[in-house]
Amino acid sequence: MSIHIAAKQGEIADKILLPGDPLRAKFIAENFLEDAVCFNEVRNMFGYTGTYKGHRVSVMGTGMGMPSISIYARELIVDYDVKRLIRVGTAGSLSQDVHVRELVLAQAAATNSNIIRNDWPMYDFPQIASFNLLDKAYHIAKDLGMITHVGSVLSSDVFYSNFYEQNIKLGTMGVLATEMEAAALYYLAAQHGVEALGIMTISDSLVNPDEDTTAEERQTTFTDMMKVGLETLISES
């Protein structure tokens, strides 16, 4: 066991989906995996391992924000030898051209967090996705007919930001959406030499607020990213 995950060695696959919401992890396990077994309930951060199209995969919640995902992702990588990690979560659009329910593949993640800067104070260390996973996810999503955008996102340390107008301005500079986890996941992947990707569904829009969705819709209806995430997990390297 690790400090925050109760699984024994061998109970977690080397490929994992990481939704922020633990109830979304439960939903994925119940609706997409066969023979799913729960390996973690510590702090109600549910984790499951099962099979998808004959491939052994896991899914586990990470909570909200970079400190939370950093704890779980690091333990999954270091203590359980997970090699391929895909975040499937929600994001808020910063672009007039990116709408609710569409997918965003985070090619890179800008951040206002000090998590990475604490380690590298003299550098702006770039947070980028695994190109292998990004390329596969893009073509899988397009083949499935899903509206999919590829580009940068903002991984923010705060949800209720005092820099609302500045965040909106980032959208005019090509940043597609804002979320709260991808930069930390990409940094951990770089540290440990594993693959990581963020696949986000737009759940609300900072520029078109009339498109916003409900909490229940966010938990149970954003299945496109789940399908793309699972197909990408099991794709050949």
| 90 marked as binding residue | yes
| 204 marked as binding residue | yes
| 24 marked as binding residue | yes
Q: Which residues, including other chains, have CB under 8 Å from residue 53's CB and lie 6 or more apart?
A: 234
The conformation of residue 43, written as its DSSP 8-state character, comes to G
| Catalytic residue from among 14, 204, 210, 212 | 204
Alpha-carbon distance of 89 to 64, in angstroms, equals: 10
Q: Which two tokens stand for residue 77?
A: 């990588």
For residues 192 and 76, is the Cβ–Cβ distance under 8 A? Answer: no
Known active-site residue 35 = no
Angle at 191 between CA 135 and CA 226, to 5 degrees: 40
Closest CA to 186 of 69, 95, 92: 69
| 56 marked as binding residue | no
| 1 marked as binding residue | no
| 88 marked as binding residue | yes
| 174 marked as binding residue | no
Binding residues are 4, 20, 24, 43, 87-90, 179-181, 203-204
- The catalytic site residues sit at 204
Binding-site residue set for a purine D-ribonucleoside: 4, 179-181, 203-204
Binding-site members for phosphate are 20, 24, 43, 87-90
